Amino acid sequence: MLPIYAGPLETTWYYTFRVICGLILLFLIAPILVVIPLSFNAEPYFSFTPGMLSFDADAFSMRWYEDIINNKQWIHSAKNSVIIAFFATIIATTLGTVAALGLSRPEMPYRGAIMGLLISPMIVPLIISAAGMYFFYSEVGLTQTYAGIILAHAALGTPFVVITVTATLTGFDQSLIRAANNLGANDTYTFFKVTMPLIMPGMISGGLFAFITSFDEVVAVLFLSGFEQRTIPRQMWAGIREQISPTILAVATILVIISVMLLATIELLRRRSDRLRGLV
Amino acid sequence: MSKSLLLSTVAAAGILLAGAASAGNLTVVSWGGGYTKSQVEAYHKPWLAMGGKAINSEDYNGGLAEVKAQVESGKVVWDLVDVELSDAVRGCDEGLLLPIDKSILPAGDDGTPALKDFLPGTLTECGVASIVWTTIYAYDTTKFSGAKPTTMADFYDLKKFPGKRGLRKGAKSNLEMALMADGVAPADVYKMLGTNAGVERAFAKLDTIKGSTVWWEAGAQPPQMLADGEVLMTTAYNGRIFGAVATENKPFAIVWDAQVWDLDLWVIPKGAPNVADALKFVAFSTDTKRNAAQASWISYGPVRKSAAPLVGKHATAGIDMKPHMPTAPGNFKNALQNDFAFWADHADELNEKFNSWLAK
Amino acid sequence: MSDQVTAAAYAGPVLAADGTLLKDRLNKTMRRRKLIAAGLVLPLGAFVFITFMFPIILMLYRSVDNPVVHDNMPQTVAALEYWDGQGIPGEEAFAAMVADLVQARKSKEIGRVATRLNFEMSGVRSVLTGTARKAKNMKAPFKDALIAANDLWGERELWVTIKRMAKPFTASQYLAAVDMRFDIDNNMVMQDEDRQIYVTIFGRTLWISLLVSVMCLLLGYPVAYLLATLPLKYSNLLMIMVLLPFWTSLLVRTTSWIVLLQTNGVINDLMVWTGIISEEGRIQMIYNQMGTVIAMTHILLPFMVLPLYSVMKTIPPSYMRAALSLGANPVTSFVRVYAPQTVPGIGAGSLLVFILSIGYYITPALVGGRTGQMISNFIAFHMQKSLNWGLAAALGGILLVGVLFLYWAYSKIVGVDNMKLG
């Protein structure tokens, strides 16, 4: 990278720049990692105890994780989060993919404007979306129900699906469809045998985005859910506002591990998709 | 494809819903933490033991927002809510709550009819009070080597006791305490707050500690803030501080000067699914025995005269509860009752002023 | 050109195999394809409209909707219609008021009327509910009876307020949302100084968003540059460090910042331990504006890095080399050659971060303390605490218009299609 003819000034700058970037990356990553060791704190404190710093085994414990497992509320919230995110993802991915197929057709009228409207749930401040939904969903009896939250989360998740699937489709060679048709395949067959495998990575990563959107969402849940539908983020919100115990850190650690796994999946998919589309 | 998938999804969600809606349990909503625990021990458990309907215990953070949303949408899931006096009155006025016929309340154990046994002002059109609670301020004794704070004025004295203060984020009780710290007698506080000059005086007093204040919103926060050393002293609900002392051995002390006391009442949202059982629960949980038993779990005072002498020791820590009651003679001097009528009228304006003051 | 015309004229109109005009056939096919494309988008369009847009429109309607007094005090509304707003109205208005109060108390609507009027004029609630309790036994002359019940009934201000609130639609919520009000003569005036707040909060919201955008740009630019210039093997690894926060729960990240920044948190402990600050000199870094800005910068930084990176990736490294070999020093060649080409990325990233910032709620609510609260927090306050839903809707309406304007600018400048996620 550093050319051999670089002078002392350039060399200094080169390393300074690297250090700056390192610090910025540290800023990005350190806050996420710092909760992990603290979640094993034996004391109900939020900071490293002297015992932890000297790696005294007694200073560490699994008590906050036991807390989660023994707490019906956390387990119930975890179930809720998964159920709600699962159904919201299915709705968002299905509707989003179908719409993306339409949007990617060259004949689509008013493409930009419609795309703009479909992506708006991602842009409109959540507090406004949630407040609007709160009034309307109360009127039709959807507040304090699973269905209400699933619909809300599906709406908030669709933009991600639309964006990722249309992005996959921009590299899509429309002549493949014509070729399939010429070879005698009907539309349905063509979709499942030609289009679908090619846009699959986009669908899955869009779906994962929709999943994490729902899994992480708290504002709509704050307004729409009853006690019965509390999700993990809702439970964390209450915890942070009221009693910030290290249990929250244990939950946070588990969530970090889940995000690492999701991210790894997305990365693998992205590479596979690039390979399939011949972009690498 | 999308349609059938959507349909099956909706169907699946429907099944899920039906499964989740717990089969007609009595939903009792309260403030969570140590307070809800005291209710579970003193009311819920004996209620279930005598064969009462199964209970869903829920937490909330006060206010009428959820009740209002449920009643106006016609989809009420709460049967019984523990609210502050001002909300019991306002909710009743706005038609959100069911009027409660007081004849369901049993007479006191000493035979006094219920209407005479309850302290004056504790029964409203839609509410039946269960406890007296209060806002006081507390400090961590280990942080003071010399003189300790004893009066409300000390709370505002940054010179004598330098350090962070904790206050509830809201106008209610802060303005009253500020005036009392400024030397206003409890009896004159609301008269004073009714005038612009009085409100200005309260804010001027609050100004003196604004820079060193940490604001809390949920009742569980103040003991936490004291324990973390985030603040030197903080206003708090007395039961929460007592709980930290009794069950977690925290070195906290309460300053019983210029407390602002209030009531918590049971109310039933209009259209609640289990009204008959809710009424039964109200009558059950406010009888003399339960009313006194509640006070052996948390330091909130009973509202029945007949229950007061029955208050004994803490159920697990064995501490004598009487001196910790807000209504104990030693604690009650210089006390002020929260004026619900004043706050019903002026909460909108004063909270606006408070928010404006806070933001500057 | 003329050759084509003659050729077409010679051949006559082009026909399709079945003898119809090819142009018509083409048009028909195009129409059919358009319909198919639109048909594919329709389910999502309908879904988003019903579950998302329609509810928001309905909410905005609440910001002007004002039915409470109009519906529940019909006789008073009629009696005050021709009152000129001078002095106090005549006996018939007082009589109508008493009749309405009796009726509203019976229908349990009196509380709502009182609540609505109390937002406009502090202290009215108890006057209305109190008087309504006595209204049933009142006898003519009602003017004296009402004034005897409460002095306020003799005040012009109360009657002017009722008359103003009698209209089924009102602009008063929007006025309140910009710290204004109607005075007794129905002129728009500024709200009293000690009640002004929302203009300050809107200003602060913009300021925090600007600060966050600038911070994101300052931190995101070098990282994006590094990612774009490193060999793919390394940049992929570093990219994961950028994306991991993106995929980590907002609440987890906010919790982390509380752990790090609080007075007894990791950073303060570290500084005390290393002797940079004393035990008493611990710095307040959270529960204030600083906490909000730090946590939001962290949360939104990936939204800046990604667009910058995708733009920088397209800039051929040879440009810089050419500038250098032509004698420009590294600084000049960076400023004059490289940086201008990254402007689209800067624009896209900054706008996106700014748009997402101004609607932030969760982070300021948890770490913002007193000085770090943004407009969304006040919308939530009026939704959940004060129950002044009309004002919440008006504040939301103003915020929404601002966001949509920025979004429109974004779609003009950047294009919605170019939004990248990971």
In the predicted model, what is the mean pLDDT of residues B239-255?
90
Taking 70 as the threshold, does the pLDDT of residue B3 lie above it? no
> Quick one: A48 and A84 in the same domain?
no
Min mean pLDDT across A152-161, B159-168, B332-341, C154-163 is at B332-341
CB-CB: which of C44, C55, C247 is closest to A212? C247
Chain C partners of A240 at a C-beta cutoff of 8 Å? 251, 254-255, 258, 366
- C357 with C403, same domain? yes
User: Which positions of chain C have pLDDT values less than 50?
Assistant: 1-2, 5, 8
User: Are A131 and C383 a contacting pair at CB < 8 A?
Assistant: yes
pLDDT at position B20 over 60: no
**Structure tokens belonging to residue B211:** 């820079």
Per residue in C281-312, pLDDT (tens digit) is 888 888 889 999 999 999 999 999 999 998 99
C45: which chain A residues are within 8 Å (Cβ-Cβ)?
Answer: 99, 114, 117-118
Q: Please report which confidence band the pLDDT of residue B335 belongs to, taking 50, 70 and 90 as the band edges.
A: very high
Determine whether the interchain pair A227/B58 forms a contact, defined as Cβ–Cβ distance below 8 Å: yes
User: Which pLDDT band holds residue A162 (cuts at 50, 70, 90)?
Assistant: very high
Do C273 and C404 share a domain, yes or no?
Answer: yes
For residue A97, the chain B residue with the least C-alpha distance is B2
* Contact criterion met (CB below 8 Å) for C385 and C271: no
Is C252 in CB contact (< 8 Å) with chain A? yes
pLDDT at residue C10 in the model: 56
Query: Do both A207 and A77 map to the same domain?
Result: yes
Say yes or no: A162 and A41 in one domain.
no
Q: Which DSSP state fits B115?
A: H
A143 in the same domain as A36: no
What H or E segment, with its residue span, contains residue B138?
strand B128-140
What is d(CA A235, CA A231) in angstroms, rounded to the nearest whole number? 6
What chain A residue is nearest to C364 in terms of C-alpha separation? A241
pLDDT band at B10; cut points 50, 70, 90: very low
A91–B9 CB contact, under 8 Å? yes
Domain that holds residue C13: 2-49
In a domain, A268, yes or no: no
What letter represents residue C339's amino acid?
A
Same domain, C121 and C13: no
Q: Transcribe B38-105 into DSSP letters.
A: HHIIIIIHHHHHTTPPPEEEEE--SSSHHHHHHHHHT----SEEEEEHHHHHHHHHTT-B----GGGS
Does C216 or A177 have the greater pLDDT score?
A: C216
Residues C39 and C90 occupy one common structural domain: no
> How many Å lie between the alpha carbon of C316 and the closest alpha carbon of chain B?
44
Residues C77 and C111 occupy one common structural domain: yes
Within this chain, do residues A55 and A123 fall inside the same structural domain, yes or no? no
Those residues whose C-beta lies under 8 Å from the C-beta of residue B306, and which sit 6 or more positions away, are B108, B109, B110, B112, B117, B288
Q: How confident is the model at residue B357 (pLDDT cuts 50, 70, 90)?
A: very high
B24-132+263-332 and B135-260+338-359 share one fold: yes
Instruction: Give the CATH number for residue A227.
Output: 1.10.3720.10
Percentage of chain A modeled with pLDDT above 90 = 49
Q: 0.95 cut: is pTM over it?
A: no
Co-location of A28 and A81 in the same domain:
no
Q: What is the DSSP letter of A178?
A: H
Phi and psi at residue C275, to the nearest 5°: 85, 10
pLDDT(B219) > 60: yes
Are both A81 and A219 inside the same structural domain? Answer: yes
- Beta bridge mates, B134: B261
**Same-domain check for residues C150 and C292:** no
The token pair that represents B91 in the structure block: 């909710």
Residue C366 in tokens: 């948890």
**Residue A265 located in a structural domain:** no
Class of domain B24-132+263-332: alpha beta
- Ramachandran area for residue B99 (φ above 0: left; ψ -120 to 50: alpha; else beta): beta
Residues C286 and C339 in one domain: yes
* Within a domain: A108: yes
Reported confidence tier of residue B15, pLDDT bands at 50, 70, 90: very low
pLDDT for residue B4? 47
Residues of C in contact with B348 (CB under 8 A): 118-119, 122, 386, 388
Of residues C44, C244, C393, nearest to A32 (C-beta): C244
Give residue B253's Cα distance to chain centre.
20
User: Within this chain, do residues C160 and C42 fall inside the same structural domain, yes or no?
Assistant: no
Beta carbons of B349 and C386 less than 8 Å apart: no
Beta carbons of B26 and B32 less than 8 angstroms apart: no
How far does the CA of residue C325 sit from the closest CA of chain B (Å)? 56
Of A90, A143, A241, nearest to B9 by CB-CB distance is A90
Q: Write out pLDDT tens, residues B34-58.
A: 889 899 999 999 999 999 999 988 8
Instruction: Indicate whether C313 and C266 sit together in one domain.
Output: yes
Report the gap between the CA of A188 and the closest CA in chain B (Å).
10
Q: Is residue A45 part of a domain?
A: yes
Confidence (pLDDT) at B257? 92
Domain range holding A26?
8-59
Contact C113, C129 (CB under 8 A): no
Give A101→chain C minimum CA distance, Å. Answer: 7
What does the radius of gyration of chain C's CA atoms come to, in whole angstroms? 32
Q: Do C83 and C42 belong together in one domain? A: no
Instruction: Check whether residue C238 and residue C384 sit in a common domain.
Output: yes
A27 falls within a domain? yes
Closest chain C residue to B62, measured at CA: C385
Q: Residue C385: its chain B contacts at CB < 8 A?
A: 63, 65, 351
CA C45, CA B108: separation in Å to the nearest integer? Answer: 64
The predicted-structure confidence for B62-87, as pLDDT tens digits, reads as follows: 888 889 888 887 778 899 999 999 88
Cβ-based contacts of C30 with chain A (< 8 Å): 107
Whether C383 and A223 have beta carbons less than 8 Å apart is answered as yes
Whether A40 and A79 map to the same domain: the answer is: no
- Domain check: are A90 and A180 in the same one? yes
Torsion, CA C96, CA C98, CA C103, CA C105, rounded to 10: 150
pLDDT for A279 equals 56
* CA neighbor of C117 nearest in space, from C166, C153, C78, C152: C166
How many angstroms separate the CA atoms of A232 and B99, rounded?
37
Min distance B267 CA to chain A CA atoms (Å):
18
pLDDT score recorded for residue A278: 63
DSSP codes, C34-78: HHHHHHHHHHHHHHHIIIIIHHHHHHHHHTTB-HHHHHH-HHHHH
Looking at the fold, whether A113 and A169 belong to one and the same domain comes out as: yes
Check CB contact under 8 Å for C115 and B3.
no
Does some domain include residue A3? no
- A145-170 mean pLDDT: 93
A169 has a pLDDT exceeding 60: yes
Let me know if C36 is exposed, middle or buried by CB neighbors in 10 A (0-12, 13-18, 19+): middle
Tokens at residue A200, please? 């699959």
Q: What is the CATH number of the domain that holds C341?
A: 1.10.3720.10
Q: What integer pLDDT is reported at residue A277 of this predicted model? A: 65
Look at residue B263 and give its three-state secondary structure: strand
Residue in chain C lying closest to B67 (CA): C384
Q: Same domain, yes or no, for C381 and C265?
A: yes
Same domain, A103 and A159: yes
How, if at all, do strands B336-337 and C188-190 pair?
Answer: unpaired
Q: Kindly list the residues from chain B whose CB atom is less than 8 angstroms away from the CB atom of residue A243.
A: 33, 218, 220-221, 224
Region B317-344 average pLDDT: 88
- Interchain contact, C43 vs A95, CB within 8 Å: yes
Q: What is the pLDDT of residue B12?
A: 47
Domain count, chain A: 2
CB contact under 8 A, C422 and A266: yes
pLDDT at B16: 46
DSSP annotation string for C84-128: -SSS---HHHHHHHHHHHHHHHHTT-HHHHHHHHHHHSTTHHHHH
A133 contacts C55? CB cut-off 8 A: yes
> Has residue C269 been placed in a domain?
yes
> Closest chain A residue to B12 measured between Cα atoms?
A87
**What's the mean per-residue pLDDT of chain A?**
88
Residues 263-302 of C with CB under 8 A from A: 264-266, 269, 298, 301-302
Question: Which pLDDT value is given to residue C140?
Answer: 86
Q: How many folded domains does chain C comprise?
A: 3
Q: Which of C:110-149 have CB within 8 Å of A?
A: none
Q: Which helix (H) or strand (E) holds B129?
A: strand B128-140
Looking at per-residue pLDDT, the higher value among C121 and A174 belongs to C121
Say yes or no: A23 and A101 in one domain: no
Superfamily of domain B135-260+338-359: Periplasmic binding protein-like II (3.40.190.10)
Region A122-146 average pLDDT: 92
C297 occurs within a structural domain: yes
Which ipTM did the prediction report?
0.91
> For chain B, what are the domain ranges?
24-132+263-332, 135-260+338-359
